Structure 1
Amino acid sequence: MPPAGHSPVPGQMMQRPLLISSLLRHADRYFGQREIVSFGDDRMWHRYTYRDCHRRSRQLANALGALGVRMGDRVGTLAWNGYRHLELYYGITGIGAVCHTMNPRLHAEQLAFIVNDAADKVVFFERSMAPLVRSIVPQCPQVQAFIVLDHHCAGGDLDGIPHLASYEEWLAPHGDEYNWPVFDEDAAAGLCYTSGTTGNPKGVLYSHRSTMLHAWASVAPDAFNLSARDSILAVVPMFHVNAWGLPYAAPMVGAKLVLPGPALDGPALYGLCEQEGVTFAAGVPTIWLGLLNHVREHGLAFSTFARVVIGGSTCPPHLMDGLSQLGLQVIHAFGMTELSPLATVCTLQAHHQGMTREQQTAVLRTQGRPLFGIDLKIVDDDGAEMPWDSKAQGHLMVRGQWVVDAYFGQPPGSAGTDGWFMTGDMARLAPDGYLTITDRSKDVIKSGGEWIGSIDLENIAMTSPAVALAACIGVPHPKWDERPLLVVVARPGHTIDRDALLALFEHKVPRWWVPDDVLVVPQLPLGPTGKVLKLQLRHQFRDHLLAATPVRH
């Protein structure tokens, strides 16, 4: 508060609201010939420019208006990473409506729930997703139009979907003369739902302001370090937290944008990197494991690819090491739907320059430090703040300019505690603010009253050349309440030796942390965002007999 009798002197700068439409207008004016390349659901290439995208987004704005979509209306999308989806990002938000991106990997029941919860007025969808759309139609009577992202509606695969139109035929009659409206920057812009692995998904409603601030933060040198010289491959899906903001960051700096559609296997990604001169990409660990294996198996190398951001779940050290050996700078990041999603990014600071390579590697394996606009703390079970000493483990809490305040439809402030959002992660903080995620709160193993972090154990298991994927869970034990059980998938052509795998843990963790047993399974259950469903594993192996195995407390 200013001193009594005084009031602040107002600044005399222009007031221009932070609106998403300004990004595409900027890219058109100053990077109009920069290319947007996408590989479609129809297996066809498409190339055009930011100027073209801006023109078609204005055309889309006119079409939406003619359809009766108004400011604040929610418009759903079920689409891969492609140019039409990008136009929806800008056309929908540009008129003040809300772009509700939906994950097609959700179960039909969950998808119907979020369409109804969001009260979507229109749903756009890829043709390959027609069976999924058909399955939810009877449960979603409020949807006034379904628009397939294609040139036409011909073919029996779309039968049974009411109020149907094809994107190109629907768009064609409308002109591209449109002036983006100016409105409050705190107006809603995007809606993403959590994956809903336990209970119904919850909606996170982003504003224009929060989205723009997130984009500005993400392009900074110690974040994604993006520029007009980059060619960005958006591997992370556009239905997954707005592709981590890349569809906004790319036009902000004028970078080339490469959208891979559904083709996310190792050979396809390598081909895209080489063909399109990709310099930067972002995605979850499982995607990069596939690319790493492909490059190694065929003795390949990258000619332009330089930086890769890995998030969504903790990056296994062996994956980071493997990509680094190929000459890539691996950037570890932490975020979640409720954080728009970016909270921390791991790059080295000046005081790290004098460290040994091993010490620097240890820093780079953390989730990094928060961007400006994000604040962190860890607390104990009673809510008391814990020290930043790289040792204390507590519940991670976040606040900031692009952090959720309340879930969609809930009262203000209801998603937080005293202005802080509880992430559901267990973490440590170093004295210089570097974050290490040790586990999800619901996945932490409590043995004999002591916490065991499953991520540390999984990372050690993944150093074995025989292990493709690993998950460590707590299972009931008659003496210690819970003990760690390691569940692994073998690499093709490899056999996993239980004792040899457990021997990897010796001298790396306390003896009582070492898993009591190893189970080899054909595959691990993965959720819609690629994360291992540990709750399902806990249920599946809840009766696994551990009593006969010596416990190392």
Structure 2
Amino acid sequence: MASRGYVQDWPLLTPTLLDHAARVHGVGARIASRGVTQPHVIRHSSYGSLRMRALALAKAISMRLGISSGDNVATMAFNTTQHLELWYAIMGIGAVCHTLNPRYSHEQLIYIMQHAGDVALFFDGPLLVDDDPNLLHNIIPSLVRPAEGGYMPTLKHVVAMEDAQNAAPLRTAFDAAFASKDHAHFHCMEELVEWGLVGVPFSWFHGKDIRTLDENMPAGLCYTSGTTGRPKGVIYTHRSNVLHALACSSGSFYGWTVNDTCLPVVPLFHANAWAYAFCAPMAGVKLVFPGRSLDGRSLVDLLVAYKVTVTSGVPSVWHGVVQFLQQHTHICLPHLLVVGSGGSALPPVLLQYFRLNQRIGEGKCEVFQGWGMTELSPIGTISRIHVPLEPLPTPQIASASVIEVFDDHKSSTTPPRDLHSCANWSEKQSSARLLRAGVPIYTVQLRIVEPDSSDKALPKELPWDDESVGQLQVRGAAVVRRYYGGVVADDARDNDDTNNTTHHDDDRHNLTVDGWFDTGDLAAIDASGSIRIHDRVKDCIKSGGEWISSVDLEAAVWESLRGGIEVQGSSGATFLLREVCAIGIPHPRWEERPLLVVVVEKKGEQQPPSFVVPDDDARAIAMNIKEALLATVAKWWIPEHVVVMCAPLPKGSTGKVDKKLIRSQMINTVERVARTTTSKL
């Protein structure tokens, strides 16, 4: 019997998400966007107008700039309606939307754009005017001129995401520096949109019959943060984007509806924007874009003004929001019902603040934590309080009898008894559950295998008993098979070829022998499928032949202190714990020993930027932390040194704590650290 023909072939293409939003939710203002150049200006629009402008822009970049299907188009911009329009315009002509992280170094940006072979760069003006005035002057010459090693330039267009007035000084500076002698041309995005609105209307993919299009063609490109070597490119296809959005939109995960108002703080340029660029139009969610104003005051202003119900971002953002709310106790967020966090472990103090504060969601705010990777599109798991294992009740129905027929065998996947009663969990149990990485979304399969067995044809899988710790591996419909350009992870770690011009995929891939992607994480999984991330393989501390999880040690610090946040100094002053980082440093006898870096703030006082914790207070803080840890961890886990500081921990381009940088600086100063507990990074 033929396997095709009973159901229509309807390719899963990302522009159809915007088509749906415009048809079903297209009337009325449903999108608010704070200006980037003018933060005091907030622009309102509808899904209908967003689609109209995206189509006009697609027409302009295709017919005026000559960008074709398969070309890579780079964007370096913040969270605005314009940026979302650009996403759909690029994908809507079959080109690839390559999001660039403006926090990358100039050297990384040059390498990434050369490797990707970008033909155009769209950017937000303030990135040049305010944030990094030398950005284009430092990277453009390397992208428009031939270089040693055979690199041939591909960049033809540079587009400011501004109106004509704000783009004028940028155009003048650009033309004076580059256009007269090089081969890149400067444009203004609003002029392109206006050009596209005139004349014959444009259709996605130049009006081709949707049935003839390949849903597996590339739609997006995002590079990893490069923590183990050169950044590596991850391609997202139209099919993988749509399937991932459908999976994330499940009621047990995002669960957004047309009645929600979402403030996405996670950047559009980071990790496929956690899929909200596709989930939001699919559900018709009202969107509130913060632009580049991500400080606590600016975010709280939007949360209040637009009665936001759902928001998501990294923990460092929530630190700023909580700090502002603590200083302005009259402000309430009664409509905020869900706060999502990801990128790094959520400190328990933030979880408790949002969940238990009557000023937020009237005490009913739900917090979820997600785990994922750029390579997973990016959501892998989400941790929310739900009752997936609560058994059915045995009802008393007069007209029927209930017959229980089920397998009660004691397999390794039988849920433990305490999971069956999770509806009655205490706050401590609920918090502990939420601080896990969560359960996988549909389309993501998980397994843990014995460390260092990935290269075997049949690696030894470990049981889901929440005790066995192994290498976490995944596979699924939106999981990377190979990196862009055919780069394999093991090769990429040592790849120093900045002039790599081979941009076509090949048959090499980054999967295990039996077809799984190794995440680089060590984890345990319980019987319900909930992940507990033990650590990154590269961040684990090996002491005396035993492994110490830096993640667990950091969590133990939060858990052991009074209220999870306060620690006493020798002067009697109380210090609030703001950040914790555990790393391993070399030791002549034990190979490595843990070193703890903590960031504190003096309670009840406004600290100047130059404030340094007095040595006596720092020593007392270190001693109090060590003593508190004795009650929660094994003695050999107690850190060799505790470094107390006031300045925030250094972060990488994705907002995560840069343990690699901290480790290198601490190793170089370990002798000085041994003499004092106060240090600056």
Q: Please report the TM-score for the alignment, with normalisation by the length of structure 2.
A: 0.77
Matched, 1:46 2:68: no
Q: 1:10 to 1:154 in 2, by over 3 A?
A: closer
Contact map agreement 1:396 1:425 (CA 8 A) in 2: yes
Cα displacement (A) at 1:92: 0.4
Question: Residue 229 of structure 2 corresponds to which residue in structure 1?
Answer: 199
Equivalence map 1:102-501=2 (5 Å)? 102-130=100-128, 131=133, 132-141=135-144, 142-152=154-164, 153-155=167-169, 158-159=173-174, 160=177, 162=179, 163-175=185-197, 177-181=201-205, 182=210, 183-299=213-329, 300-326=331-357, 327=363, 328-347=365-384, 348-349=386-387, 350=390, 351=420, 352-383=422-453, 384-410=460-486, 411-412=506-507, 414-417=509-512, 418-462=514-558, 463-465=564-566, 466-492=576-602, 493=605, 496=618, 497-501=621-625
Equivalent-residue separation in structure 1 for 2:427 and 2:81 (angstroms): 42
Q: 1:370 to 1:412 in 2, by over 3 A?
A: farther
Contact map agreement 2:641 2:674 (CA 8 A) in 1: no
Question: Residue 36 of structure 1 corresponds to which residue in structure 2?
Answer: 31
Equivalent-residue separation in structure 2 for 1:9 and 1:137 (angstroms): 52
Contact map agreement 2:224 2:232 (CA 8 A) in 1: yes
Question: Residue 411 of structure 2 corresponds to which residue in structure 1?
Answer: none
Q: 1:122 to 1:286 in 2, by over 3 A?
A: same
Q: 1:397 to 1:540 in 2, by over 3 A?
A: same
Q: 1:199 to 1:260 in 2, by over 3 A?
A: same
Which 4+ stretches in 1 moved above 4 angstroms?
Answer: 492-496, 545-549
Cα displacement (A) at 1:358: 2.7
Question: Residue 527 of structure 1 corresponds to which residue in structure 2?
Answer: 652
Equivalent-residue separation in structure 2 for 1:520 and 1:122 (angstroms): 46
Secondary structure of 2:664's aligned partner: helix
Equivalent-residue separation in structure 1 for 2:25 and 2:136 (angstroms): 37
One-letter amino acid matched to 2:42: W
One-letter amino acid matched to 1:58: L
Equivalent-residue separation in structure 2 for 1:229 and 1:421 (angstroms): 37
Equivalent-residue separation in structure 1 for 2:433 and 2:440 (angstroms): 14
Could you give the per-residue CA deviations for residues 211-259 of structure 1, whole angstroms, max 9, x where no partner exists?
Answer: 0011111111111110100001110000001221111111100010111
Contact map agreement 1:474 1:485 (CA 8 A) in 2: yes
Equivalence map 1:9-28=2 (5 Å)? 9-10=3-4, 12-28=6-22
Equivalent-residue separation in structure 1 for 2:437 and 2:83 (angstroms): 30
Contact map agreement 1:217 1:371 (CA 8 A) in 2: yes
Secondary structure of 2:197's aligned partner: coil
Secondary structure of 2:245's aligned partner: helix
Comparing 357-366 with 420-429, greater Cα deviation is found at 357-366
Equivalent-residue separation in structure 1 for 2:18 and 2:222 (angstroms): 21
One-letter amino acid matched to 1:45: I
Equivalent-residue separation in structure 1 for 2:537 and 2:653 (angstroms): 20
One-letter amino acid matched to 1:335: G
- How many residues get paired? 543
Identity %: 40
Secondary structure of 1:170's aligned partner: helix
Equivalent-residue separation in structure 2 for 1:275 and 1:547 (angstroms): 50
Matched, 1:62 2:158: no
Equivalent-residue separation in structure 2 for 1:102 and 1:429 (angstroms): 34
Secondary structure of 1:258's aligned partner: strand
Contact map agreement 1:75 1:122 (CA 8 A) in 2: yes
Q: Unaligned 5+ residue runs, structure 1?
A: 1-6
Comparing 182-191 with 405-414, greater Cα deviation is found at 405-414
Equivalent-residue separation in structure 2 for 1:483 and 1:434 (angstroms): 30
Secondary structure of 1:68's aligned partner: coil
Equivalent-residue separation in structure 1 for 2:507 and 2:433 (angstroms): 37
One-letter amino acid matched to 1:136: I
Equivalence map 1:72-87=2 (5 Å)? 72-87=70-85
Secondary structure of 2:482's aligned partner: coil
Q: 1:145 to 1:548 in 2, by over 3 A?
A: closer
Contact map agreement 1:464 1:501 (CA 8 A) in 2: no
Question: Residue 4 of structure 1 corresponds to which residue in structure 2?
Answer: none
Question: Residue 457 of structure 2 corresponds to which residue in structure 1?
Answer: none
Could you give the per-residue CA deviations for residues 302-351 of structure 1, whole angstroms, max 9, x where no partner exists?
Answer: 12111011111111111111111223210011011001110101122233
Equivalent-residue separation in structure 1 for 2:479 and 2:508 (angstroms): 11
Cα displacement (A) at 1:389: 1.3
Equivalent-residue separation in structure 2 for 1:246 and 1:270 (angstroms): 20
Equivalent-residue separation in structure 2 for 1:360 and 1:11 (angstroms): 48
Contact map agreement 1:340 1:402 (CA 8 A) in 2: yes
Q: 1:432 to 1:481 in 2, by over 3 A?
A: same
Contact map agreement 1:103 1:240 (CA 8 A) in 2: yes
Equivalent-residue separation in structure 2 for 1:469 and 1:416 (angstroms): 35
Q: Unaligned 5+ residue runs, structure 2?
A: 145-153, 180-184, 358-362, 391-419, 454-459, 487-505, 559-563, 567-575, 606-612, 677-681
Could you give the per-residue CA deviations for residues 334-383 of structure 1, whole angstroms, max 9, x where no partner exists?
Answer: 01100111010112223322434432322122111101100111122232
Cα displacement (A) at 1:134: 2.5
Secondary structure of 1:405's aligned partner: coil
Question: Residue 395 of structure 2 corresponds to which residue in structure 1?
Answer: none
Higher gyration radius (CA):
2
Q: 1:387 to 1:360 in 2, by over 3 A?
A: same
Secondary structure of 2:162's aligned partner: coil
Contact map agreement 1:244 1:342 (CA 8 A) in 2: yes
Cα displacement (A) at 1:434: 0.5
Equivalent-residue separation in structure 1 for 2:588 and 2:674 (angstroms): 7
Contact map agreement 2:57 2:192 (CA 8 A) in 1: no
Equivalent-residue separation in structure 2 for 1:221 and 1:527 (angstroms): 33
Question: Residue 3 of structure 1 corresponds to which residue in structure 2?
Answer: none
One-letter amino acid matched to 1:379: V
Cα displacement (A) at 1:412: 3.8
Contact map agreement 1:219 1:227 (CA 8 A) in 2: no
Comparing 96-105 with 145-154, greater Cα deviation is found at 145-154
Equivalent-residue separation in structure 2 for 1:297 and 1:135 (angstroms): 41
